[in-house]
Amino acid sequence: MLADYAEELTTSTSQVPERLSFYINYERMRRDMELSGDIFTVETPYNEVHVFSNC
- The pLDDT of residue 53 is 87
* pLDDT for position 6: 92
Residue 10 near residue 26 (C-beta atoms within 8 A): yes
The CATH-assigned architecture of domain 2-53 is Orthogonal Bundle (1.10)
Where in the chain are the domains?
A: 2-53
- Position 5: which residue type? Y
Those residues with Cβ within 8 angstroms of residue 3's Cβ, 6 or more apart along the chain or in another chain: 26, 27, 29, 30
- φ/ψ bin of 40: left (φ > 0), alpha (ψ from -120 to 50), beta (otherwise): beta
Q: What pLDDT score does 14 carry? A: 93
- pLDDT per residue rounded down to tens, the chain (55 residues): 789 999 999 999 999 999 999 999 999 999 999 999 999 889 999 989 899 988 7
